[in-house]
Structure 1
Amino acid sequence: MEKLIEDIGILSEDANSNCETFKVTEEKNTGKLRKLYIESYGCQMNFSDSEIVASILSKEGFDTTSEITKADVVLLNTCSIREKAELTVRNRLNHINGLKKHKPELLVGILGCMAERLKSKLLEEEKIVDLVAGPDAYRDLPKLISQVDEGEKAINTFLSREETYADISPVRLNSNGVTAFISIMRGCDNMCSFCVVPFTRGRERSRDPYSVVAEAKNLFERGYKEVTLLGQNVDSYKWSPDENNKARLEKNGSSNIINFAMLLSMVAEVSPELRVRFSTSHPKDITDDVLHTMAKYENICKYIHLPVQSGNTRILDLMNRGYSREWYLEKISRIREILGEDCGISSDMITGFCSETEEEHAETLSLMDLVQYDFAYMFYYSERPGTLAEKKFADDISLDVKKRRLNEIIQKQTAHSLQRNKRDIGKIHKVLIEGVSKRSDLHLQGRNTANKVVIFPAENYTKGQYVNVLVEECTGATLFGKVIH
């Protein structure tokens, strides 16, 4: 997750931002018989998946609606990464079922990671939904909806080793017409002990690179100026026409392998006017080839989300992250060396993991001082059922201690975000205009290459333009300036 918002430059569990929500905000009214309403919770992958769902159902007689009261089918695309994320969805389902009392024919379905984790429990025990579909079952939605129409409950939580939805052109929901997501792979093979993703999204499989490039070209031809390549771990992207299976490719080898650095080059070459971002990178997998590719192309944004999770090697080992504190700091040094000190770097941090001591917590704080992140996503540890940590380790840090440690991390990141932004004052930044500022129609906003929000007077500039902005002041979250010619 690397959605930087104007109001704050840091995201933390206490701010309830671990479960971002995206709702359909525009009507698609082409005269189809039924109305679909979708809400997406959690990461950008979920939002991208909702665009795939909308595309599949648009071919089956559905328009989208921005008003839940107009909907015939309501789908919640859910996150299961933390307990609070699931609680948010449950509260929302209770509200929707209240609406259903006045509209009994309303079909309510749950998609995504929470659906995959709880499976039939939501249908049979809790009876709060009519339909359950996991992340690899979206092609089956028309059939599942038909089953509900016929008076049955419907479920498909089968995890696929092949599904990438590569042939589906997503319906761009809530689009600003400038930026878009492109999913390049699905699943995750990293068994981080705190994480449910390998169990809810399955094993890694990479999408055909030529379909990725075709989607990027189509978006650029339609006026989009920026794409973000998405994956749970984009750096492990690996595709071959011989066999699109990572494990077998590594074992047998192939001269036709396309890796992530190659894919980045292919997308960057669609047009120098098309910006390219990506998320998320795993520290153990990002290579110098990727960094040199970023340096080679001006239109590949100089920003990397590189989650550290902890600054202590013992805790990192318990988390099964695959690197040490020293190894991570060396990777940061390579980023700065190849891409420069102004490259934006953000992180995820979990405090209060099983058995973490005060000294180990202090090592996370000291690592933050060494790295100086531009912004971060910070949480206290939330034990998730079925994970390796839940099975092997005691969740033995009290909630009060977790919250106190989290607050210390937040305070430090607040200071670092401001320090990093002050470095940009007096510099000229190339900004892609994404729309009007959230606070004033007299100002526009966009982002620079380092993924920082920049706000400036609107004058006669329009969405989708590139402008050069001289930054004159800042907060910890936002840069402010004026366009220069």
Structure 2
Amino acid sequence: MNIDKINTETEANKFSKQTEYMEKIKRYLSDFEQDTGRKQTYFVFTTGCQMNAHDSEKIAGMLEEMGFLRSLTEEDADFVIYNTCCIRENAEVKIYGRLGRLKHFKKTNKNMKIALCGCMTQQDVVIEKLRKSYKYVDIVFGTFNLYKLPELLYTNLETNETVFDIWKEEKGIVENIPTILEYPFKASVNISYGCDNFCSYCIVPYVRGRERSRKKEDILNEIKCLAASGIKEIVLLGQNVNSYGKNLNPPVSFAQLLREINELDGIERIRFMTSHPKDLSDELILAMKECSKVCNYLHLPFQAGSNAILEKMNRKYTKEKYLELINKIRSQIPDILLSTDIMVGFPGETEDDFLDTLDVVNTVGFSTAFTFIYSKRTGTPAAVMDNQIDEKTVKDRFNRLVDAVNKKIYEIHSGFVGKTLNILVEDVSKQDENIVSGRSENNCLVHFPGNKDIIGQTVPVKITGNKTFYLIGERI
């Protein structure tokens, strides 16, 4: 039996109802520990964007609140959950491969439960495949009802039947979900969900829904709590943060939100992503300039340099408008570093189109660039466009793009050698426990001698070397 719908409830009691299920599971896990002498464990595997990573922090928070302990490996876990992405086909292939491996582990661990959630599960074709070929998966839910995990897990424990709970739209934003942060000194904060842009290659609006903004007061309260717990850096997340607040009553601009966050005590750095060029206003540029805590770093995807391709992508700006925007930003914030997303191989892309893309790369100079080969996504307009580009041509263009991008990254990073940057220390090197890593305010990754005692601290580091994708330094 597949349970396709569990319950509907009003927005007011959404998560309060889930706490009841969490208590029931807590008692179940306590009984299990008494009977077996061990606690049940969980493992979360995440693919995709920072939004997914933050969702997984919420999943971990609910599971630990229920009494699960984190497992380092999925084969040893009692509850395995894959939080999925569907932006590119290889992300889905990876998940199916991991699910195949889990079938063996589930045979040896009769207590193992397997759950699948995230963007991938919002597609009908995926649900069909799971029903047919992966019947040993216990729970499947989507992007709109993550908060219902306790209820779905309890239903499966009670019935031992697969639970499918996929919503086609969100029924209100749920606040106050327990969260386990990956780092004790930096955190992500959702300010909006979904997207209204409908770029022709992108499946996000179909799997994440239309754009919804959180209330300003809820965002500010969350950040105040994070600051009180010792968080120094926050990353504001949304599919398009620049259009934040337009659907609120009364409307609030992203620039206004930034200014209010900038006034909060405790927070030292504010980052945000992702920005859409068509919505990056003069008001926002001025707020970035005037807000002392907003980092001198901006992720601004341009995707392609050809106006013909940009029009087919439904990006709503031209190459000239993008370059004009870059000049405007740099005139106000001269020391800002820029990163971007770039796609090659979009249907109909000619050699001249690709050369326009290279021209943007060479003109702007990005400190980081996420480069992608176009991936056909069923259900998007681009998937049925004529003139899909052959693999050999795409690979050649991609390699040339990467070479051009890397050359610019090296040039930009060379300019920091001999300078001193303030680095928020994040990790100890996996290869050498005497080396630590962190990021500057403008997002440069820096490795330098140190130990775990300074993780979470901001320290001055003199840059001594450039390795293209990261810098080498020594603490002053």
Aligned to 2:57: 51
Aligned to 1:417: 409
- Rounded to whole Å, the distance in 1 between the matches of 2:272 and 2:176 is 21
Say if 2:152 is the partner of 1:144: yes
Q: Secondary structure at the match of 2:43?
A: strand
TM-score (norm 1): 0.86
- Rounded to whole Å, the distance in 1 between the matches of 2:451 and 2:388 is 56
TM-score (norm 2): 0.87
Deviations 1:409-442 (A, max 9, x none): 0011110110010111222212212232344322
Distance 1:123 1:130, change over 3 A: farther
Aligned to 2:338: 345
Q: Secondary structure at the match of 2:346?
A: coil
Query: Where does structure 1 lack aligned partners over 5 or more consecutive residues?
Result: 1-30, 240-245
Match of 1:158 among 155, 161, 167: 167
Deviations 1:337-362 (A, max 9, x none): 1111x311111111010011011111
Match of 2:380 among 366, 374, 387: 387
Q: Secondary structure at the match of 1:445?
A: strand
Contact 2:191/2:219, CA 8 A, preserved across alignment: yes
Q: Secondary structure at the match of 1:284?
A: helix
- Rounded to whole Å, the distance in 2 between the matches of 1:167 and 1:203 is 22
Deviations 1:126-145 (A, max 9, x none): 22522211011112222222
RMSD of Structure 2 on Structure 1 (CA): 2.1
Q: CA deviation at 1:273?
A: 4.7
- Rounded to whole Å, the distance in 2 between the matches of 1:79 and 1:375 is 22
Say if 2:176 is the partner of 1:167: yes
Q: Secondary structure at the match of 2:279?
A: coil
Contact 1:134/1:157, CA 8 A, preserved across alignment: yes
Q: 2:355 corresponds to which letter in structure 1?
A: A
Q: Secondary structure at the match of 2:133?
A: coil
Aligned to 2:44: 38
Q: Based on CA coordinates, which of the two structures has the bigger radius of gyration?
A: 2
Contact 2:189/2:237, CA 8 A, preserved across alignment: yes
Aligned to 1:478: 470
Match of 2:204 among 197, 200, 205: 197
Q: 2:155 corresponds to which letter in structure 1?
A: Q
Match of 1:458 among 446, 450, 457: 450
Contact 1:123/1:153, CA 8 A, preserved across alignment: no
Q: 2:438 corresponds to which letter in structure 1?
A: G
Q: 1:152 corresponds to which letter in structure 2?
A: E
- Rounded to whole Å, the distance in 1 between the matches of 2:252 and 2:239 is 18
Aligned to 2:5: none
- Rounded to whole Å, the distance in 1 between the matches of 2:100 and 2:452 is 46
Aligned to 1:402: 394
Q: How many residues are aligned here?
A: 439
- Rounded to whole Å, the distance in 2 between the matches of 1:112 and 1:381 is 21
Match of 1:86 among 89, 92, 96: 92
Match of 1:181 among 180, 188, 192: 188
Q: 2:312 corresponds to which letter in structure 1?
A: L
Q: Secondary structure at the match of 1:69?
A: coil
Query: Where does structure 2 lack aligned partners over 5 or more consecutive residues?
Result: 1-28, 33-39
Contact 1:228/1:279, CA 8 A, preserved across alignment: yes
- Rounded to whole Å, the distance in 1 between the matches of 2:283 and 2:296 is 14
Contact 1:442/1:458, CA 8 A, preserved across alignment: yes
Q: CA deviation at 1:478?
A: 1.2
Deviations 1:210-263 (A, max 9, x none): 222222222222222111111111111106xxxxxx2xx6xxxx6x32221111
Q: CA deviation at 1:119?
A: 5.0
Q: Secondary structure at the match of 1:469?
A: strand
Q: CA deviation at 1:178?
A: 1.9
**Larger helix percent:** 2
- Rounded to whole Å, the distance in 2 between the matches of 1:466 and 1:62 is 33
Contact 2:227/2:266, CA 8 A, preserved across alignment: no
Q: CA deviation at 1:120?
A: 2.7
Q: Secondary structure at the match of 1:101?
A: helix
Q: 1:131 corresponds to which letter in structure 2?
A: I
Distance 1:356 1:314, change over 3 A: same
Aligned to 2:115: 109
- Rounded to whole Å, the distance in 1 between the matches of 2:275 and 2:373 is 21
- Rounded to whole Å, the distance in 2 between the matches of 1:443 and 1:106 is 38
Contact 2:433/2:451, CA 8 A, preserved across alignment: no
Contact 2:196/2:210, CA 8 A, preserved across alignment: yes
Q: CA deviation at 1:395?
A: 5.2
Q: 1:133 corresponds to which letter in structure 2?
A: F
Q: Secondary structure at the match of 1:147?
A: helix
- Rounded to whole Å, the distance in 2 between the matches of 1:162 and 1:147 is 21
- Rounded to whole Å, the distance in 2 between the matches of 1:119 and 1:389 is 20
Aligned to 1:303: 297
Q: 1:222 corresponds to which letter in structure 2?
A: S
Q: Secondary structure at the match of 2:475?
A: strand
Higher relative contact order (CA 8 A, sep 6+): 1
- Rounded to whole Å, the distance in 2 between the matches of 1:104 and 1:386 is 38
Q: CA deviation at 1:187?
A: 0.6
Q: Secondary structure at the match of 1:258?
A: coil
The 5 Å alignment of 1:205-244 reads: 205-238=212-245
- Rounded to whole Å, the distance in 1 between the matches of 2:345 and 2:215 is 40
Contact 1:184/1:231, CA 8 A, preserved across alignment: yes
Aligned to 2:9: none
The 5 Å alignment of 1:238-277 reads: 238=245, 246=247, 256-271=250-265, 273-277=267-271
Contact 1:169/1:215, CA 8 A, preserved across alignment: no
Match of 1:286 among 280, 285, 297: 280
Distance 1:445 1:364, change over 3 A: same
Distance 1:301 1:272, change over 3 A: farther
Say if 2:88 is the partner of 1:99: no
Distance 1:456 1:57, change over 3 A: closer
- Rounded to whole Å, the distance in 2 between the matches of 1:87 and 1:50 is 20
